[in-house]
Chain A
Amino acid sequence: MLPAGCGGRLAAALAAALGDGAERRRELERQAARGRALLGRWDAEDEERQKSDSSSSNGQESRPSPKELEELELLSRALAKALKVRKSIQKTSVEAQGVREGEKAANEGPAPKNAQVQQVPVSSEGVPVTTKVKAVSRKPTSSKKPSSYLLTAPYRTDPDVKKAHRKAPARCMSQAPRTAGKSSSKAVASKQARRHRLTISASNQEVCAAAESQKTDGLSKCGLLEQQSVSLGDSAGGKNLVAAGRQLFDTGKEGCGSLGGSSKKEDHTTEDALGRNSSPQADTLQEKGSRLKFPLPYRKAYSRNSRAWENCRLCQSSADAAAARNRFIERIQTTFCSPMPAFSPAEIEEEVKVLQNVPSLLSQCVEAEHADHPTLQREYESLLTLEGLQTIASQCLHKLQLLREDDGAEHTLSKFADDTKLGGAADAPEGLCCRSEGPRQAGEMGRQESHEVQQREVQSPTPGEE
């Protein structure tokens, strides 16, 4: 059994270390979870997040304003018109985009649209756009009363209709109700709200992810519509659609403008998506990591910040300011207690820290020199090296001695040589015998000191134990 004092201390130290370790483990696990989340599918994560959001935030919504409803109606009328026009366009204009879309577009297109639209009149809830869209696209079976708005009818498409036909309208339609949905969405969908919401990027992501399985996160409706209007631009009948698309694009762009960078990125990724017909684009960091960009407000803040840091790093005091400062410092130091120690405690600690490595460095070098030396020259070199090491060792000992003396009440003059220069390490062979005196003296002094300090050390722990 160990005595209580040291045993208790040891136990406490071990327990403290265990506590620290547990904390560290928790932190590491948290960080690892973050990392894993980022490396997984981004839309899957968002989906879960949306689900939890929708389930949790159901009670906080407000009614849409009449203005919003009016806007919605206008918008939906415009879109209905555009859709009619669009329907008459041949498949050639869509084939370029058609291949990738897949069934999901067809299936999810109509269903969510309905649910989406149906949600519009359920206006007692001010679910944020993301939630709503998400709830829509993932829970098409949610029970909502049928809408009195016009959006339902034109958007329900017959699954038997040609794929090509369906895709463009599907996409257009999927955009439209979402836009509509967005604009009607209680607290969020008004243009003003959209502008202020960073969630738009996320919601845009959702929109496109829902519509097309292979779309990456970054697609916004703006980018998509732009793409669409561009692709449809050549067809004669598409003018209205283009106009409608452009209108949407503009309104969307206003909203997205303040969120800026995303649209650029999204256009880029749209193009990418369109370019790659065959490879399925998973929604992971691996696929899109090199194309990511900061959101605009953050980018601005970041660049301002790094510029400021750079300026601060480069800025220096003017000569006058430095002179004035030094004058002040000198004057105030004349008011200090007169025999100030050469080293402040901070400096002593700093020096000791630096010297900590010296014994091990020297030992390493000594070990290196133990090897056999075949040639005369090599042996000479080895000898010189060892002597140099000896000098270094004695210099450091001397310095330590000075530090220790300073720590006490005595103030000694510190006149040791600049220790970046080596004192005569590479003398001519003749001088070798003379220099051995110096280090021995320092060594003796050092030994003497250690005795005194050992006594002091015995005394000092007692105040701490009280």
Chain B
Amino acid sequence: MRRARGRALPGAVAALCRALPPRARPAPDTLRRARFDRPQASSHCWRLLCSLLKQVHGGKWTEPDAIDIQIRFIKSVLWYHGYGRPELYRLPSDGSAGSRELLLAFSWLLHRISLLEQLLARNRVRTGDETSVCTCEDDLTNSQKGRTEIAPEYSLEDKVDVRYLQWLHGRLRFQWRSLHALHQEQSKLLHKIHLFTSGSHMDKILGHFSVTETELIRQPENYKQLLQFLESETMQLEAFLEWKQLEQVYWHWMETVLDDMAEEGSMCKSQDAHTMKSMLPKGDSCCHWAGSLVGKIDRLSRDLMTVHDQLQELVTHRKSAWYEKVKTREEELQKEEFCAAARKTQEAVELKLLDLTYHCAPKKPKMHGSCRLVFRSKHSASKTGFGRSVSKEPISTVSATEVIRELQMRKASLERELKQLQEECRQRMDEIAEGLDGVICISP
């Protein structure tokens, strides 16, 4: 058994390495050296993990940073995902040691965040017309955060005229209008192209060509690189399938690593999470993230509290009215038919609320990132109905109507938030204005 495993192990490790994206593909030897905690494999392992995690976290591939920045990044990401081995957080920042710890962390990530699957999905060759449907603001705030951090360097001494800001704001609104017009034009063009090429695609579910594909047909010589990417991705997928066949061997192997470490007695006594957090790199990103999350939670609790109080008031009011009504009609309510009706009402309400809770609970993974735009005409048999539907794979699709509804909900909630903030500002202005005697405020 052991010998069979021994034979299969190089295959498993090789398949695993081949299934990783080309830019972050280790040699199987690196993993083998890491298993024995060789220091020379450490820097490779750090770099590998850094590159993989950057891809998963949606960052564009940039020039690799210095090793200590990479190490800080890796540690914060592992903490973010809930990795709790203190030995990893104690590793030195020069990248000279820790290959075995990194191997363990890598294997843990393989399972925990489905690292391979995520990488394959994120790096998928996109031949369709891509659009994004999620309204996640996180990426946006991250990038903005970066910019506002470096911005204070300029005009730190000068005061800023509010009219300048108003002008910038006006420019921004104008820009939005022109972007909107461009978007509309782009939609019309896409609609035409999709319509004209309906029925041609070899994949009948897609049904029509995208812009890239049409260009490919027209001028194939321009798209040789696309072909290469496609082929390399296919090889990666086949390696992934091979890995899936052999992964048992790999997990056994990882258990032997843990066995070795148990023997060496390197399992330190349990420390509490507090001290572990203190070992975390105190980078800006962690503080900002934590601060912003706490802020989000607070805002959310405030909103929920408002709704909750509102509901409470309403419920008590209605209940008293109900009991008033009930008192006068007690005999009527004892009748059988009313009880039956009441039961039916309860069921109906349960259903309604179930639908609501479905929206409140974490549901199936929402479509994040970019998806392929697919045109479905009114007459097709799909459930998505008229208009375009957005689909990544044949299975997980979302229709345009759903997206529109979600966006409308988001818009409504943002408008509510805006009104709330404006109300708060107005109140503050009132307070300030009260303090100023004999002053007349003229709006611009």
Contact between A420 and B304, CB atoms less than 8 A apart: no
Contact between A321 and B251, CB atoms less than 8 A apart: yes
Contact between A2 and B214, CB atoms less than 8 A apart: no
Q: Nearest CB to that of A19 among chain B residues?
A: B147
Within 8 A of B (CB), among A297-348: 297-299, 301-306, 308-309, 311-313, 315-318, 320-321, 324-325, 327-329, 331-333, 335-341, 343-348
- Please give the distance in Å from B275's CB to the nearest CB on chain A: 8
Contact between B159 and A327, CB atoms less than 8 A apart: no
* A22 CB-CB contact with B under 8 Å: yes
A388 to B354, alpha carbons, bound, how many Å? Answer: 10
* B23 CB-CB contact with A under 8 Å: no
Q: Which residues from B are CB-within-8-Å of A350?
A: 362
Contact between A2 and B85, CB atoms less than 8 A apart: no
A337 to B279, alpha carbons, bound, how many Å? Answer: 12
B277 CB contact (under 8 Å) in A32, A333, A409:
A409
A25 to B164, alpha carbons, bound, how many Å? Answer: 23
Interface string of B178-207 (1 = CB under 8 A from A): 110011011001101101111110110000
* A403 CB-CB contact with B under 8 Å: yes
Partner-contacting stretch, out of B45-53, B66-74, B228-236, B374-382: B228-236
Q: Nearest CB to that of B176 among chain A residues?
A: A21
Partner-contacting stretch, out of B92-100, B293-301, B383-391, B436-444: B293-301
Contact between A387 and B315, CB atoms less than 8 A apart: yes
Q: Which residues from A are CB-within-8-Å of B433?
A: none
Q: Which residues from A are CB-within-8-Å of B1?
A: none
Within 8 A of A (CB), among B132-189: 136, 144, 147-148, 151-152, 154-162, 164-165, 168-169, 171-172, 175-176, 178-179, 182-183, 185-186, 189
B81 CB contact (under 8 Å) in A24, A321, A346:
A346
Contact between B200 and A364, CB atoms less than 8 A apart: no
Interface residue range, chain B? 35 or more
A333 to B108, alpha carbons, bound, how many Å? Answer: 9
A351 to B361, alpha carbons, bound, how many Å? Answer: 8
A376 to B189, alpha carbons, bound, how many Å? Answer: 55
Interface string of B212-245 (1 = CB under 8 A from A): 0111111111011011001101100110110011
A38 CB contact (under 8 Å) in B193, B346, B412:
B193
Contact between B217 and A292, CB atoms less than 8 A apart: yes
Contact between B255 and A436, CB atoms less than 8 A apart: no
A463 with B287, Cβ < 8 A, contacts A14-B169, A457-B298 known: yes
A332 with B85, Cβ < 8 A, contacts A1-B160, A361-B360 known: yes
Contact between B160 and A10, CB atoms less than 8 A apart: yes
- Please give the distance in Å from A131's CB to the nearest CB on chain B: 12
Q: Which residues from B are CB-within-8-Å of A22?
A: 175
Contact between A315 and B312, CB atoms less than 8 A apart: no
- Please give the distance in Å from A168's CB to the nearest CB on chain B: 30
Contact between B362 and A351, CB atoms less than 8 A apart: yes
A457 CB contact (under 8 Å) in B164, B294, B305:
B294
* A11 CB-CB contact with B under 8 Å: yes
Contact between A317 and B202, CB atoms less than 8 A apart: no
A1 with B159, Cβ < 8 A, contacts A337-B272, A397-B308 known: yes
Q: Which residues from A are CB-within-8-Å of B407?
A: none
* A150 CB-CB contact with B under 8 Å: no
* B248 CB-CB contact with A under 8 Å: yes
Q: Which residues from A are CB-within-8-Å of B200?
A: 289-293
Contact between A443 and B309, CB atoms less than 8 A apart: yes
Nearest 9 CB-CB pairings of A with B: A344-B82, A336-B84, A7-B160, A12-B151, A289-B196, A35-B189, A338-B270, A426-B346, A360-B413
